[in-house]
Structure 1
Amino acid sequence: MELRIKDLTKLYDDKLILDIEDFYLPEKTFLGIIGPNGAGKSTLAKIVANIEDASTGEVLYNGSSFTAELSKDMTLVFQKPYLLLTTVYHNISYPLQLRKVAKEEIHRRVMEIMEEMEILHLKDQKAWTLSGGEAQKVALARGLILKPSLLVLDEFTANIDPASMLILEKSIQNYHAKYSPTIIMVTHNLQQVQRLCSHLAYMNKGEIVESGEVDEIILNSQNPITQKFISGEIVV
């Protein structure tokens, strides 16, 4: 899915949180967004995913404004997973049930993605008994099972164990390789961006300061603020 952000602002109590004049993201791009705390990264992710309104401006999806139909082709995965108070299997299958997918197809797809994410043994376990890493795997599986063409990840591997993080990353890599969606990943982890992303945007004080291919920005940044963040002079 192709994205265009135009004249986008967001204010909270008269404080300017976002101010993005023009930003274009081609379809199939895997974009990592980095920057210090308070830069507006998560706010931008929520606006792109249409769970928060902009104060002014717009986000265009394949040249069009957001519609209810478009929402079926988008998924947002938060840092804190929000799961239904039921089994792992039901959590993952629920979006397909809402779309009235045949039971046999639901079962096949749920079992397939649970096996890929190494949570097949949790099939009948209740969501509230899961560890943080397990819950995040379930949340991601529930999002990927819809095969969205736009996937927004907001600190989706923060505060989970390294083994779970690697499984989540591998699932994202496999999904991008197989279906070529547009992915936007908000993260503080520059190494994670280098492992997963094709493009990088650095945000500071609500603005996209610099963007481009990952290696281009990391090795040859043209902006002093970006350079300081990459070198560790600006703490998150």
Structure 2
Amino acid sequence: MTPPHIRVLVVDDQELIRTGLRGILRERYGFTIVGELDTGIDVAQVVAHLEPDVVVMDVRMPGVDGITATHALTRVDAAPPVLVLTTFDEDEILAGALRAGAAGFLLKGAPAEDLQRAVRTLASGGAWLDPAVTGRVLTTYREGRPPMRPGAQVDLLTPREKDVLSLIGAGLSNSEIADGLFLGEGTVKTHISHIFMKLDLRDRAAAVVFAFDHGLARPGDPRKPESA
């Protein structure tokens, strides 16, 4: 059976960019663009109506910018993951997108294949941080986040939870982690729930940052799991 297409909402104020995204995220590649917006003003309402699997969000737009729209959207129950797509490699902007709840970011100069992989990764529950700027952005992200609560240490995790967190840091989805560690996907979800609770992590992007901070992942790590 052919898997269903990934439903994508594109939010970008430039028609030229939206045209390019239509060519990259085509049905022949397994995607369907279910809607387009040129501002972040009505994103939450449109998402509720169209139910996309992923939102591809520009940063600088008239009316409501991408970071503000991402912050509002990620506060909605069952909101789809947001991939921030921008021409700007300004660290504070991209770190701000993570703080707002984006599941990943990608520079617009990245190859088309990276955009396709990023959307697929987010649709399957993973996170995607563009390796070209990840190290710098994470440094800026750390500077602006609240202090981690006492006791939020990697030693609180079991060895298997560390394995799972390492693969989250590499950007893998739950199903990919399950395959790589020879676990059931339900077991992986249970491990992730325990990791978030033990480390007081808000979302998957925060888990990625924690994995980088504690040497469980590095910028440029492969996104395919190794055999356990």
In the superposition, the TM-score normalised over structure 2's length comes to 0.34
More strand by share: 1
More helix by share: 2
In the superposition, the TM-score normalised over structure 1's length comes to 0.33
Higher CA-based Rg: 1
